[in-house]
Amino acid sequence: MPEYTRLIHNYLRHDKKFPHVWCPGCGNGILLGSLIRAIDKTKFSKDEIVLVSGIGCSGRLPVYVDFNTLHTTHGRALTYATGVKLANPSLNVIAIMGDGDSMAIGGNHFIHAARRNIDITAIILNNSIYGMTGGQYSPTTPYGMRASTAVYNSIEQAFKISELAVTAGAVFVGRQTVYNAKLLDTLIERAILKKGFSVVEVITHCHTQYGRQNKLGSAVDMLKWQRDNAVPVDKAAKMSPEELEGKIITGVLVDKDLPVYEEEYEKVRARAKGLA
């Protein structure tokens, strides 16, 4: 059987009533494919994977896949993920969040999860907009762009999610576009295998809301924009800030090692029992 048939058969839920909730052409489906291929490569069993999400179009992702899936409240996915991972460290916990989900309402949880360095993989679908609620501006909507709550254009500066993750202490941070799905596969695989808090920022398109309001064309046009504006980190290092204006720096931004919370907590248990 072809590889994609095997993956579909093995990982999509047969008892879930498809079709999915996403607009045709939405980038979320590309990420879902990448995620499945990456998990398949890691060889974790389906029982070992816990997929946690927040609220948004992005938050709907886990319901389609045959893992332990947990669709939580808006912004709080990482807090639930923290409880799951610390209570059963043998589970492999992946959190899927939107840009509003992880950076606005859940911004505080995000920086603290990064600082704590629990072995969780955080995947953020950054479409620069609140998709599910109909296209309001988000913390990653660029200055000057339009949204349904910024019809006179946004006057706020956008967060750079990956750079924020690096500063907050995440041990592994990477950014990739859904256009470059192959590279996204390997980035996610590395993030899952990395011990500690790892972040993958996925640059995706919401043609229905963000695209329409800013006259950016169809889903395909927005994918082409991703293709034309992605700059790999090593190339970006040789470019000036002016040249990098409006570009997406892709690849691995940081890969380092710090004490992992669960392992440290084992030492706490030993000290508490007077064993160390």
Quick check: 185 and 38 in contact, CB under 8 A? yes
Cα dist. 64→36, 73, 74, 84, 217 in Å? 11, 18, 19, 20, 28
- The site partner of 209 among other proteins, ligand SF4, Mg ion, none (C-beta below 5 to 8 Å per kind) is ligand SF4
- Residues 73, 75, 77: CA angle, nearest 5 degrees: 65
- Enter the tokens of residue 229: 């504006």
Cα(63)–Cα(41) distance, rounded to whole angstroms? 21
From residue 120 to residue 159, what is the string marking binding to Mg ion with x (rule CB under 5 A)?
A: -------x---x----------------------------
Cα dist. 228→47, 90, 130, 145, 249 in Å? 39, 41, 24, 19, 12
Cα(215)–Cα(150) distance, rounded to whole angstroms? 15
> Does 146 help bind ligand SF4 (rule: CB under 6 A)?
no
Residue 232 is inside which H or E element, if any?
strand 230-232
From residue 253 to residue 272, what is the string marking binding to other proteins with x (rule CB under 8 A)?
A: ------------x--xx-xx
Q: What is the largest CA-CA distance in the chain?
A: 65
Cα(170)–Cα(198) distance, rounded to whole angstroms? 6
From residue 76 to residue 115, what is the string marking binding to Mg ion with x (rule CB under 5 A)?
A: ----------------------xx----------------
- Enter the tokens of residue 204: 């995706």
Instruction: Please report how close the Cβ of residue 79 comes to Mg ion at its closest, in angstroms.
Output: 19
User: Closer to ligand SF4 at the Cβ: 31 or 120?
Assistant: 31
> Does 127 help bind ligand SF4 (rule: CB under 6 A)?
yes
> Does 242 help bind other proteins (rule: CB under 8 A)?
no
- Enter the tokens of residue 180: 């470059």
> Does 47 help bind other proteins (rule: CB under 8 A)?
yes
Place of tokens 């390997």: 186
From residue 198 to residue 217, what is the string marking binding to ligand SF4 with x (rule CB under 6 A)?
A: --------xxxx--------
Tell me which residues in 1-20 interact with other proteins (CB under 8 A): 13, 15-17
Of the candidate spans 34-42, 45-53, 133-141, 155-163, the one that interacts with other proteins by CB under 8 A turns out to be 45-53
Binding residues with ligand SF4: total (CB under 6 A): 12
Tell me which residues in 49-108 interact with ligand SF4 (CB under 6 A): 57
Instruction: Please report how close the Cβ of residue 123 comes to ligand SF4 at its closest, in angstroms.
Output: 15
Give the footprint of ligand SF4 on this chain (CB under 6 A): 22-23, 26, 28, 57, 127, 131-132, 206-209
